[in-house]
């Protein structure tokens, strides 16, 4: 007599992979019976025998119960019985004379499996894409985008033309994804382009972002789309996860030059087919999406690093330069006002006279060749002046 263990659907694959790693072999009852393997079982091997199918049979036709009771009694101690928890209530009653105890397997439940199923059923219809906006939504998208992103006027103009064409040809099935490849020094606003699109599309969720600077290079593709099926701990990959979490049709790929050839080829496919496919063959339709790739490489390295096929796939390739002093000044005014109004709202309405002008006066704009440093200087100056 023995214990019957129940597993849930979310636990099963985790359970199976950890137990297999520990040397257990899994057999289903029907397989065992049809191949007459009972006599052939190795006495030194530990087995899990899944009786779910047998239980389903007994529930439907309890005249099978006698056979089943006899059968279970004929196994040795190297067998542990398991069963789908969906049958728990019926099983406990019907097999009350077969097992002396009932319990649950100990295994992490695969939350991502449940989450994924849920997300797949709610998406992708609810995703807000540039291709789905009506004319007035599109107008306010551009207004919003253009005020968020300072300077980069030429890019803004080209971006608008690209979007207008994309909206037409995406509908004709000829242009799946709008891809932007932004190069240039650090801190000039490349990533800010994606943040601004994200906000202008009205997202209330996290930006779907992959940063290849965070990946170790030799298994970048595995991190991105998951390791091949059957590997212990294999998952669906970060890309699909991030895309599922987002509510708008935008993906940011930061520090793209740090990826490897396998990844480059993968994205060539994505841009061509408008689909994200992971190692477990799950597909997600990303037609109508914008993908922003950013990179710190120079124009020369761009050619040696990225294949001609992929280069020609990008709809926009451009160098981002540091904002002009005029635009930097506009940025400073805007940031200082923004900080002051937040401070009023969250901290105190009591601020020194002429705070805005005094902060601005202390910042020597032309000195800054990186917007991150400029932003830090604005913050530091604000803090020093609010204290006195
Ligand atoms: N053109 C810009 N308009 C508004 N903010 C900007 C702009 N450029 C840079 N910033 C600000 O400067 C910081 C660095 O910019 P970021 O886009 O992250 O740089 P990178 O080019 O390295 O991706 C960000 O915090 C961003 O808010
Ligand atoms: Mg960046």
**Ligand 1 centroid vs 102 CA: distance in angstroms?**
59
Q: Where are the alpha helices (DSSP H) in 314-370?
A: 325-346, 355-362
| Fold adopted by 115-320 | Rossmann fold (3.40.50)
Candidates 152, 153, 157; CA nearest to 189 is 152
Question: For residue 143, what are its two tokens?
Answer: 């207004």
SS3 content of the chain, % helix, strand, coil (to 5): 55, 15, 30
pLDDT tens digits along 1-59? 589 999 988 888 888 888 988 889 998 877 777 656 677 778 888 889 898 888 888 88
Higher pLDDT, 321 or 181: 181
Cβ 56 vs Cβ 95: under 8 Å: no
> Could you give the 3-state DSSP secondary structure of residue 183?
strand
H or E element at residue 209: strand 208-211
Pocket test for ligand 1, best of 200, 371, 374 (most atoms within 8 A of CB): 371
Q: What is the pLDDT of residue 208?
A: 95
pLDDT digits (tens, 9 = 90+) for 63-94: 878 877 877 777 777 889 999 998 898 888 88
**CA-to-CA separations, 324 to 128, 188, 328, in angstroms, rounded:** 33, 11, 6
Count CB neighbours of 336 within 10 A. Answer: 21
Q: Which ligand is nearest to the CA of 194?
A: 1
* CA gap 178, 180 in Å, rounded: 7
For 299-340, the pLDDT digits (tens) are 888 888 888 899 999 999 999 988 999 999 999 999 999 999
Q: How far is the CA of 340 from the centre of ligand 2 (A)?
A: 26
Q: Which of 178, 152, 174 is nearest to 164 (CA)?
A: 178
* Nearest residue (CA) to ligand 1, atom 18: 191
How far does the centroid of ligand 1 lie from the alpha carbon of residue 370, in Å?
8
Question: CB under 6 Å to ligand 1: residues?
Answer: 149-152, 186-192, 294, 323, 331, 371-372, 375
Residue 118 in this model has a pLDDT that exceeds 60: no
How is 75-94 classified by DSSP, letter by letter? --TTEEEEEEGGGHHHHHHH
In the prediction, which pLDDT does 122 show?
Answer: 45
Rounded Cα gap, residues 248 and 236, in angstroms: 20
CB distance 232 to 14 below 8 Å? no
The CATH number of 2-109 is 3.40.50
Q: Which two tokens stand for residue 234?
A: 């294999």
- Residue to mutate (ligand 1; options 144, 151, 152, 192; most atoms within 8 A of CB): 192
CA distances from 386 to 14, 99, 227, 236 (A): 55, 74, 52, 49
Q: How far is CA 234 from CA 118, 237, 240, in A?
A: 20, 8, 14
Q: What is the average pLDDT across 122-139?
A: 86
Write the residue with the smallest CA distance to atom 27 of ligand 1. Answer: 192
Question: How far does the centroid of ligand 2 lie from the alpha carbon of residue 177, in Å?
Answer: 21
Return the structure tokens found at 168: 């037409």
Q: What is the pLDDT of residues 198-249, one digit of tens each?
A: 999 999 999 999 998 887 766 788 888 887 655 555 477 889 999 999 999 9
**What letter would DSSP give residue 351?**
-
CB atoms within 10 A of CB 215: 20
Rg (alpha carbons) of the chain, rounded to whole number: 30
Measure 323 CA to ligand 1 centroid, in angstroms. Answer: 10
Contacts with 98 (C-beta within 8 Å, 6 or more apart), sequence order: 1, 4, 68, 69, 72, 73
The H or E element spanning position 59 is: helix 52-60
Taking alpha carbons only, the member of 283, 303, 287 closest to residue 295 is 303
């Amino acid at each position: 007599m023995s214990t019957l263990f129940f597993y849930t659907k979310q636990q099963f694959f985790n359970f199976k992979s950890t137990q297999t790693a520990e040397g257990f072999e899994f057999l289903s009852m029907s397989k065992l019976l049809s191949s007459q393997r009972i006599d052939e079982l190795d006495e030194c091997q530990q087995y899990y025998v899944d009786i779910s199918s047998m239980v389903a049979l007994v529930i439907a036709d309890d005249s099978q119960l006698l056979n089943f009771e006899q059968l279970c009694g004929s196994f040795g101690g190297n067998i542990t019985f398991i069963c789908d928890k969906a049958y728990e209530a019926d099983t406990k009653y019907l097999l009350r004379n077969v097992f002396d105890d009932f319990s649950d397997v100990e295994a992490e439940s695969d939350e991502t499996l449940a989450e994924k199923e849920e997300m797949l059923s709610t998406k992708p219809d609810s995703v807000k894409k540039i291709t789905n906006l009506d004319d007035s939504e599109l107008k306010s998208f551009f207004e919003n985008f253009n005020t968020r992103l300072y300077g980069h006027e030429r890019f803004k103009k080209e971006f608008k033309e690209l979007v207008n064409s994309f909206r037409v040809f995406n509908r004709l099935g000829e242009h799946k994804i709008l891809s932007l490849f932004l190069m240039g020094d650090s801190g000039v606003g490349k990533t800010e382009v994606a943040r601004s699109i994200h906000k202008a599309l009205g997202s209330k969720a996290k930006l779907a972002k992959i940063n290849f600077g965070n990946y170790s290079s030799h298994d970048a593709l595995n991190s991105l789309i998951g390791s091949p099926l059957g590997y212990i701990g294999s998952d669906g990959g970060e890309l699909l996860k991030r895309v599922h979490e987002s509510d708008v049709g935008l993906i940011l790929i930061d520090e793209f030059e740090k990826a490897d050839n396998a990844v480059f080829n993968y994205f060539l496919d994505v841009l061509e087919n408008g689909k994200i496919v992971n190692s477990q063959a799950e597909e997600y339709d990303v037609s109508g999406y914008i993908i922003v790739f950013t990179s710190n490489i120079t124009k020369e390295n761009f050619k040696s690093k990225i294949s001609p096929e992929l280069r020609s796939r990008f709809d926009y390739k451009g160098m981002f330069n540091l904002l002009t002093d005029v635009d930097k000044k506009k940025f400073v005014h805007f940031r200082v006002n923004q900080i002051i109004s937040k401070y009023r709202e969250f901290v105190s309405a009591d601020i020194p006279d002429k705070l805005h002008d005094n902060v601005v006066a202390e910042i020597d704009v032309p000195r800054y060749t990186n917007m991150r440093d400029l932003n830090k200087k604005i913050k530091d100056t604000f803090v020093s002046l609010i204290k006195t």
